[in-house]
Amino acid sequence: MSDPPRKLSRRAFLGGLALGAASAAAPGAARASDGYGKGGVHGRRAEELCAFLDISRCINCQQCVYACRETNGHKFPEPKKPFPKMYPNKVPVEDWSERRNVTDRLTPYNWLSIQTAEVEWQGKEYRLHIPRRCLHCQNPPCANLCPFGAARKLENGIVRIESGLCMGGAKCRAVCPWQIPQRQTGVGLYLSLMPRFAGNGVMYKCDRCFDTKVAKGELPACVEVCPESVQSIGPREEIVALAKRRAGETGGFLYGLEDNGGTNTIYLSPVPWEVLNEAVDSRGKHKPDLAAKPNVMANEENLASAVFAAPVAGLAAGVFAAAKSIRDRKGGADD
Amino acid sequence: MTRPTAAAMPSILRRAFPWLVFLLALTGMAQMPIMKRYSISDLPGLGWLADFFTTHLVHYALGALFLFLLSWALGATLRSGVLPRLTVSGMLRAGLIAVVAVTGILRVIKNDPGVTLDPYFVLAIDWVHMIAAFLWGLAAIAFRLARRGAYTHRSQRGG
Ligand code: SF4
Ligand code: SF4
Ligand code: SF4
User: Which residue, A162, A168, A161, is CA-closest to A190?
Assistant: A168
B152 lies within 8 A of chain A by CB? no
Cβ <8 Å between B114 and A43: yes
Q: CB of A300 within 8 A of CB of A139?
A: no
Mutate to test the pocket of ligand 3, among A55, A63, A104, A111 (most ligand atoms within 8 A of CB): A63
Tell me which chain A residue has its CA closest to the CA of residue B104. A307
Tell me the mean pLDDT in the region B130-144: 92
CB neighbour list of residue A283: distance below 8 Å, 6 or more residues apart: none
Supply the residue whose CA is at minimum distance from atom 6 of ligand 2: A222
What percentage of chain B has pLDDT greater than the value 90?
Answer: 58
Tell me the mean pLDDT in the region B53-68: 96
What percentage of chain A has pLDDT greater than the value 90?
Answer: 75
- The model's pLDDT over A36-72, given as tens digits with 9 standing for 90+, comes to 333 233 344 448 999 999 999 999 999 999 999 999 9
pLDDT at A95 over 80: yes
Q: Tell me if ipTM is over 0.90.
A: no
Mean per-residue pLDDT over chain A, rounded:
86
Cβ <8 Å between B108 and A144: no
Q: Is A226 in the pocket of ligand 3 (CB under 6 A)?
A: yes
Q: Widest CA span of chain B, in angstroms?
A: 50
Q: What's the pLDDT at A90?
A: 85
Cβ <8 Å between A261 and B113: yes
Residues of A in contact with B125 (CB under 8 A): 149
Report the alpha-carbon distance of residue B121 to residue B1 in Å, rounded.
Answer: 31
CB neighbour list of residue B25: distance below 8 Å, 6 or more residues apart: B133, B137
Cβ <8 Å between B79 and A155: no
Inter-chain CB pairs, A–B, below 8 Å: 171
B142 lies within 8 A of chain A by CB? no
A59 lies within 8 A of chain B by CB? no
**Can you say how many angstroms the Cα of residue A77 is from the centroid of all Cα atoms in its chain?**
20
pLDDT at A204 over 60: yes
Q: Is A236 in the pocket of ligand 3 (CB under 6 A)?
A: no
Mutate to test the pocket of ligand 3, among A71, A224, A230, A232 (most ligand atoms within 8 A of CB): A230
- The model's pLDDT over A136-183, given as tens digits with 9 standing for 90+, comes to 999 999 999 999 999 999 999 999 999 999 999 999 999 999 999 999
pLDDT at A287 over 70: yes
Residue A31: pLDDT band by 50, 70, 90 thresholds? very low
Element containing residue A314 per DSSP (H, E): helix A298-334
Q: How many Cα atoms within 13 Å fall on the side-chain side of residue A214?
A: 33
* From A3-7, A156-160, A256-260, the region with the lowest mean pLDDT: A3-7
Cβ <8 Å between B68 and A311: yes
B75 burial level (CB within 10 Å; 0-12, 13-18, 19+):
buried
Residue A285: pLDDT band by 50, 70, 90 thresholds? low
Q: CB of B37 within 8 A of CB of A279?
A: no
Residue B157: pLDDT band by 50, 70, 90 thresholds? low
